[in-house]
Amino acid sequence: MTLIVKEIQAKTIISVSKVYPYVINPYTGCQHGCTYCYARFMKRVTRHREPWGEFVDVKINAPDLLQVEISKKKKQGRVWVSGVCDPYQPLEAKYRLTRKCLEILAQNHWPVIIQTRSPLVLRDIDIIKDAQNFEVGFSVTTADDGIRRLFEPNASSINDRIKALDELHKAGIRTYAMIAPMLPGAERLAELLNGKIDYSLIDRMNYHYADWVYRKYGLEDKLTDDFFYRTMQELASI
């Protein structure tokens, strides 16, 4: 797979979000390239022609922008890191933009909710632990790593995500699991997550981008209402 990386100067970095009050995306595009990813609408917005997962624009001025922009905000609010990219995709190991943004938010006492699929977040445990109001969530969509490979081939293994959640939770950091979109094999997640999270969010597959994966591997029964509601109730009861 080719990856086209471009360093860009963004015009702005902190935006108002419908999910949390604010959102920061240090990158446009995501190397994880999950088959179902809703964020591929960013291709249209940014006029990228490459397939989703094969381009990343690196907003190299993100920390400088953030420093200026939060000093101008009248009201603080929880910042979601990130909404349309994984803030800990592999390029973050080199660019450290997420880390620098978190440092600024922590210094200014802003509450933050981090969402990732990558154990690279552990690199920044020093900042997260000392910050006043940071929490970390992992998207954990299935307990079956074979299924994970079909839908999220470039993201980290389920085992690595669970281990990272455990380490964060043991460090006293508030953690959550985003069981969304719920994939086949999510039934066993309760036992894997037990004792490693403070809460979980559950949602079904709401997009059609990965319908071909379900069809190709004969998994269509895991797209039904019955699968979703039965599994959700089982997980909630445990």
Which residues form the interface with ligand SF4 (CB under 6 A)? 30, 32-34, 37, 39, 85-86, 117, 155
Shortest spacing between CB 198 and ligand SF4, in angstroms: 21
Q: Nearest approach, Cβ of 92 to ligand SF4 (angstroms)?
A: 12
Q: Name the residue nearer to ligand SF4 (CB basis): 37 or 81.
A: 37
Spatial distance between the Cα atoms of 4 and 135, rounded to a whole number of angstroms: 31
Q: How far is the CB of 176 from ligand SF4 (least distance, A)?
A: 15
The residues pairing with 58 across neighbouring beta strands, listed in sequence order, are 7, 27
For the stretch 35-52, what's the b/e string if a residue is b when 16 or more beta carbons lie within 10 angstroms of its beta carbon? bbbebbebbeeeebeeeb
State how far Cα 28 lies from the chain centre. 13
CA-based torsion, 63, 65, 71, 75: positive or negative: negative
Cβ distance to ligand SF4 smaller for residue 106 or 179: 179
Q: How far is the CB of 10 from ligand SF4 (least distance, A)?
A: 17
Q: Please identify, using beta-carbon distances, which residue of 32 and 196 lies nearer to ligand SF4.
A: 32
CB of 72 to ligand SF4, least distance (A): 28
> How many other C-beta atoms lie within 10 A of the C-beta of residue 72?
7
Indicate the residue among 30 and 182 with the shorter CB distance to ligand SF4. Answer: 30
CB of 191 to ligand SF4, least distance (A): 24
The CA distance from 203 to 144, in Å, is 17
Question: Do the beta carbons of residue 158 and residue 144 sit within 8 Å?
Answer: yes
Give the nearer residue to ligand SF4 in terms of CB position, either 66 or 205.
205
| Token reading at 161 | 């995500």
Residue appearing with tokens 């022609």: 49
Beta bridge partners of 199: 176
Distance CA 131, CA 173 (A): 10
Q: Closer to ligand SF4 at the Cβ: 106 or 210?
A: 210
Asked if 147 and 185 count as a contact pair (C-beta separation under 8 A), the reply is: yes
Closer to ligand SF4 by Cβ: residue 91 or 106: 91
